[in-house]
Amino acid sequence: MEYSAREIAALVNGTIEGYPDVKVNSLSKIEEGRPNTLSFMGNPKYEEFIYNTQSSVVIVNRSFQPSKPVSATLIRVDDAYQAFAKLLEAYNSKNSSQKGIEQPSYIASDASLGSEVYIGAFSYVGKGVKLGTRCKIYPGVYIGNHVELGDDCVLHPGVKIYQNCKIGNRVIIHANAVIGADGFGYTRNEDKSYTKVSQIGNVIIEDDVEIGANTTIDSATLGSTIIRKGVKLDNLIQIAHNVEIGEHTAIASLVGISGSTKIGKRCVIAGQVGITGHVEIADDITIGAQAGVTKSFTKPGINILGAPAYEADESKKIFIATRRLPELMKKIANLEAELAKLKKGE
């Protein structure tokens, strides 16, 4: 499909500099721009490419002041990255407009399906399931008994949702994520064998959450594991039973969160962080990559680094001191040698 610069500007509330009627039919990165494509420049470090790009239209920030002539038509917006993200979402929506039920698939007789639902082949929809309007269930998805999904949810291929889980509106779950598997609950016997503790809770996922591929969120032992609205989870994350993650928190890949931990609102957790169980993380905390969190942090808005994790300033001091250990050990060895000489002279 083709769109003119005029149509694109109207969609993103932008101002045109150049040719309003120039048309584009695809997207490209600014450094790889081709004729009849749309690009964006949100970061000043890419400015060098805008003077040579072959892209027909480029979205830029209103504040951008070119130092050379630009051949492409510019669309000026308040935030180029957000405007381009909006266009990508519109483009994606037009290319994922499936409806109807493909075969073979299984849908329980008492399942409730909203209007304009898509269910891909080889999917399973269990007893008492409720799907909201415009949900898209891609091939190979399993939805267990009495699961509820709100409107406009997207479950990508291979997603598994265990029984009784509750999912809000506009939730996106990527391929092979598992929601509601048993929590890691066992009691240790006298002979050091293990007895399984049944996990009879569920998972609640609120509105506007996105969950990456191969991420797992375990069911609660009792009650619910809760992912609050607006949370963004990367691929390959493990969230254990009875964890609660606050609104609009973002978590990068390879993070492991142990059972019954409470994470506040608007936190940012970098890759490969490990968080022990039964701790509390306050609102607006940032946890650096590979941190090992072994205690609660109840002061909002701080940065945490290290393993074990400390507040960033303290962690940096510890790191600096650790790098000086070889020098300090050498000094101690010299002092011990001097002390030994003094003792011999007594």
User: CB of 280 within 8 A of CB of 261?
Assistant: yes
Name residues whose C-beta falls within 8 Å of residue 11's C-beta, 6 or more positions apart in sequence: 86, 87, 90
> Distance of CA 33 to CAs 52, 58, 73, Å?
9, 9, 13
H or E segment to which residue 328 belongs? helix 325-345
Dist CA 116 CA 103 (whole Å): 17
Long-range CB pairs of 65-74, under 8 A, 24+ apart, other chains included: 72/18, 72/33, 72/39, 73/5, 73/16, 73/17, 73/18, 73/19, 73/20, 73/22, 74/16, 74/17, 74/18
Burial (Cβ within 10 Å: 0-12, 13-18, ≥19) of residue 101: middle
Dist CA 180 CA 201 (whole Å): 9
User: CB of 145 within 8 A of CB of 128?
Assistant: yes
> What is the residue whose two structure tokens read 């066992």?
186
* 239 alpha carbon, distance to own chain's centre: 13
Within 13 Å and on the Cβ side, how many CA atoms surround 239? 36
- Tell me which residues are annotated as active site: 241
Tokens of 13: 């509330």
User: CB of 40 within 8 A of CB of 59?
Assistant: yes
User: CB of 288 within 8 A of CB of 312?
Assistant: yes
> Distance of CA 340 to CAs 336, 337, 344, Å?
6, 5, 6
Tokens of 166: 């509750």
